[in-house]
Structures are given as structure tokens and as C-alpha cells.
Amino acid sequence: MCGIVGVVCDENCQDYIFEGLKLVQYRGYDSVGICQKNGEQLKIDKTKGLIDKLITKTTPLPGAKVAIGHTRWATHGAVSEENAHPIEGKNKEWVVVHNGIIENYQQLMCDLQKEGEVFKTQTDTEAIALLLSLNNFDSPIKNMIWAIKHLKGSYAICAVKKQEENCIYAAKYKSPLYAFCNDEIAMLASDPICFPEGDYYKLEDGELCVAKKGNIVFYNMRGEEIQKTKQRFQKIRAMADKGDYQHFMLKEIYETPEALKRVAKNFLNVDFGAIKKLKFKNVKLIGCGTAYHSCLMGAAYFRKYLKIDAEAIFASELRYDDYVIGPHTLCIFISQSGETADTIAALEKAKAKKAKIISFTNVPYSTIASLSQIVLPISAGPEIAVASTKAYSCQVAGLYLLTQALKSEKHFYKAIKQVSELAQTTEKFFVNMADFAQDIAQKQKIYFIGKGSDYITALEAALKLKEISYINCWALPAGELKHGTLSLIESKTPVIVISTNKSVHEKVMNSALEAKSRGAKLYLISYKPPQICELENFEFCLSLPKAPQPLLCILAILPMQLLSYNVSLIKGYDPDKPRNLAKSVTVE
């Protein structure tokens, strides 16, 4: 959540900030701001709303060689221009942008007020800016160290000091921050997607740096210089471009076939022998939101193909419940961004209990990847839209390949072929859902039902639709409809039925007809063409192409993603930026 971009260069620093902020707007935000600096002259511009609004109101500060920018998602304080970042300290001596949550903000505010400091905003970030201004050490990096020693919580901080020429001071703890430099420029950002192609640095927890044009010096919390190893980052900007598509979400749905091909290719390079050596007796799959749904699918694969006790757990629940986890537990953490705060905290708890740790992440340089014993690639490529689409399909495909590899080499290579063929099938399976969307766009509530893996697909389909259309969507196992929820079915209530498993198809149909008898309008996604006697019961029927049954869930979710996209457009919303949501949830 929130995005940071900082730059030190000779000219056009404002342009670098705006370009970078646009690339991290997937993280979610409701206000945006920039501070430009030329010598001791500071120019701060902020606004509620989107980056384009800030661009319109901001003029360059002549001669500015330093700038920091921020997209804010409100946590402390209302959505307002006043609370937008950058936040200034006393007399603008320090100006700060900050991601994360300062948990002891209230105590800091009381302490600072006793020192005579006056708070001008409702943000926890202002405490950082005021702490930095409270002392005048002989080195600004000492101010940074002194200030952050007083902080509890998470932070990625970029700050400029009024009296210091052409540099940015930065610090990181439990919120991502990266650095880049060449002869012409130095940059800091929440995501290296903002950088020119080339080598970059990842700041670890408790590290600080001073960025100047062509040079970045790193420090530990004792103020000692430290050496860091560069990491390579390639081609990410081109893949993060919207291209000819109207929205990132539509582009990313259509990128699913290529993403599946990458999954099959990249899994050929995975050392499954290392996973087998972990010697586990049970499996916990942990994630949030869409990743949790892929965990449910993965747990089903483990139970079906390996006959292993496996369960999916919400990361936010694992942190506070007494799940039985120990040295013989394999914990698989799934996160598209690799920076999900609840998932990181759950991982650390599992690690403390000596569990074996594997992660599935789409971002190999992420925090979750760095904390894991083994990292498996989601391989989806950049996913910018808040609602996850291609990454979910890749997670499910990867989990299927993992279970087949652990079963036998023969099963693994058969599964690789299946995923590759699925990618080819998917290329031809982008159906027009506009009429279907028009039929349900004005409904107040929608129900999704399925059985087994289709129930999991129903959960993910309902999440997609509610995320970007703001319609109240429910998903439940088909057999549970009569255990309470049937009381909510009334005339013309939409019920979307997902059925990809022949063995339970009749059971699912019976549940659907129970809803119809109460007035529901039925819509069907099925593994086979409906029989003539079934057609009269459904407003819409879609038959999926032939594919291996364990992977039909990927084909089934594609039209549901397109349905959600179309409903969002009909209702006049931006499917890439749903209200109140962020792509990378880096706070608890």
C-alpha cells in the first residue's frame, strides 16, 4: 500500500517522480504529492485523487535536482490534501514520505507535544518528520538513526533535509524499499519497476542509505557503512505497459496463456529433490484474498494426489490462532507481491515453530522470497490491476505441478504437457461476456455455487465481482444452499452455477433447481454442453473446452474474470483501481 519514488539528478526530476508514481499506483492510493528541492528552496504540491490531477497543478521548481513523491492510502487521518505526503517537519527543516504504520504514534505525539511541537496533520508520518527536526546532529544520517530508534511498527522512509544539498536519506523496516544509481541519476522506490533497466539494491530491515547522483552509501543502525550486492532487473517496464488495452485488468486476463507457458517452462528448472528432502508429514498453505483461494485449490491437490493432510489458512488468522505447526509441517506461503504484511508475519511465526518454508511469489526480489527456504515462481509477469487475474491462474497451475512432481517424475512431465496444452486452449477461449454482464450489472446481490474445486472457483469469482463492481456477492458450496442461504433467494436473484466435475454434476444441478424454484435466475458454467432439458432452466450457458479435470478450474475462472471486468465498465467504475483496495497490502 502506498508508493514512494525519490530521485536525485541534474534536471527534470519532477518527470521522473510522476513516471515512477504512475508505475506504483497499482499499490492503491487516495492522495498524491511531490516535494521538489533546489538548495534550501522547497516546493510541495499535494492533492486528493489521482496522479494526473497532481501533474496538472504542479509546476517545475527551477533548478531542482532532488524530488520525492508519494501515493498515499489513508490509514491515520482522513483523505485530505493536508494529510497527503510529503509531510513537513518544523520549519520545513525535514520533509518526509513514508509507507507503513507507526504503531506507537499516539505516544510519540504526546511526547512531542510536551516538547512544544505542534501537529499540523492527522498522520503518523508527521511524528517522523518532527523527530528528525528535534535534534541537530553533526550528520543527518545520525538524525535518521536517532529518529527511527523511537519508532515501532513498519516503515519505508525517504526524507530530504532543507540545509543539505542534492541528496535523499532513506530507511527501511518491514516495508519494501529499493535503490538504483548510475552516473546520471540516483533513485529510491517501493518497487524497482520504477528504475531504468539495470542493477539495483534492496534495502533490508534496519538499513539506511544516502542517495546522491551517481552514488548511494548504505549504513546499518550503528551508523557504520556497509557494502551491498546489486541485483539484476530486466524488461519489467515494458511488461508493465498497458499497450493497446483500455485497462490493465483486461490486458492481464489476455496474458494468461503466455503466463501459463512460462509456468510450465520455469517449473522444469525447479529442484523438487530439495523439496522432497524437507521430509514433511502435513501441509499448510497460507495466503490472503485471491492467494488464499489458490491455497484452497493447492490443499485439495495435496489431499487428492499425495494423500497428505493439507489445509488452507488465512494468513491473518494464522498469526493469532493456535494452528498445529512444527518441524514436520511444510508451510507454503502464497503472495503475488511477496510483500503482504499478514503473510510475512504468518511466515515469521511458522519459521519460529521450525516449520519448513516454501513460497510461491510473483516477485523474486520480495521479502517473502528472501525469508523462504525454497522459492517457486508464479511466473505471471507484472500484474498492475488490483484485482488479480493471471497470477491466480499461474498459482493454481504451479500448485498442480508441485503435487505432480512430488508424486513422481512421470506424473510431473505429464502435468507439464497438460499445462502447456491448457495454455494453447486458453488462447482460443476468450468469450464475450458483455450480454451476461448487462443482465446482472444492476443486481444488488449475486450468488455463486459449486461443489469441491468448483466451490473454490465460485469463491474467487465472487471476490473478483465484488472487488470491482461493489455488488454484494456470495459463494457457497452447492449443498449448503439449503442450509440457510435459500431464505435469501427471491424473484430474479442471480445464481451463477459452476460445474466442471462429472461425478457431482447432478448434485450441483439439483441445488441450482432448488434456487430456481424460489424464483432465482440461473447461469451455468459447465464442463459439457447442457442437455436440451437443462437449457430451459438457464438464462445463460457456457461450455468449457476440453481439458484435464484438475485444470478446468483455470478455464472456468477466465469467463468470470471477464464478466467482472464488463460489469465494472457498465457501472462506470475503473476496474484497475477499485475503491478502498490496494494491490500490495503492506500493513496489517
Q: Three cell numbers at 509?
A: 444441478
The answer to whether 181 is a known catalytic residue is no
Q: What is the dihedral of CA 199, 235, 583, 555, to 10 degrees?
A: -140
Give the 3-state secondary structure of residue 180.
Answer: strand
> Strand order of the sheet with strand 231-233?
41-48, 31-38, 66-72, 3-9, 185-189, 178-181, 198-202, 231-233
Opening angle at CA 47, ends 53 and 37, nearest 5: 100
The answer to whether 516 is a known catalytic residue is no
Opening angle at CA 444, ends 443 and 446, nearest 5: 75
CA 168 to CA 161: how far, in whole Å?
A: 8
Q: How far is CA 285 from CA 186, 298, 307, 395, in A?
A: 39, 7, 15, 12
CA 94 to CA 135: how far, in whole Å?
A: 11
Q: Three cell numbers at 290?
A: 485471491
Task: Tally Cβ neighbours within 10 Å of residue 52.
Answer: 11
Q: Annotated catalytic residue: which of 2, 13, 394, 473?
A: 2
CA 415 to CA 502: how far, in whole Å?
A: 21
DSSP 528: S
> Strand order of the sheet with strand 494-499?
472-477, 445-450, 494-499, 521-526, 538-543
Q: Which residues contact 359 (CB under 8 A, 6 or more apart)?
A: 332, 333, 334, 335, 338, 347, 368, 369, 371, 372, 374, 375, 376
- Relative orientation angle of helices 409-427 and 552-570, to the nearest 10 degrees: 30
CA 405 to CA 401: how far, in whole Å?
A: 6
CB-neighbour burial class of residue 410 (10 A; exposed 0-12, middle 13-18, buried 19+): exposed
CA 475 to CA 115: how far, in whole Å?
A: 54
Per DSSP, the residues of 445-456 read: EEEEEESTHHHH
Reduced 3-state DSSP string for 94-158: EEEEEECCECCHHHHHHHHHHCCCCCCCCCCHHHHHHHHHHCCCCCHHHHHHHHHCCCCECEEEE
Q: How far is CA 586 from CA 75, 194, 487, in A?
A: 12, 18, 39
- Relative orientation angle of helices 140-148 and 125-134, to the nearest 10 degrees: 130
Q: Which residues contact 577 (CB under 8 A, 6 or more apart)?
A: 25, 28, 386
Identify the CA nearest to 523 among candidates 549, 492, 490. 492
Q: Which residues contact 151 (CB under 8 A, 6 or more apart)?
A: 102, 104, 108, 127, 128, 173
Q: How far is CA 388 from CA 88, 102, 332, in A?
A: 36, 28, 19
**Active site (catalytic) residues:** 2, 583
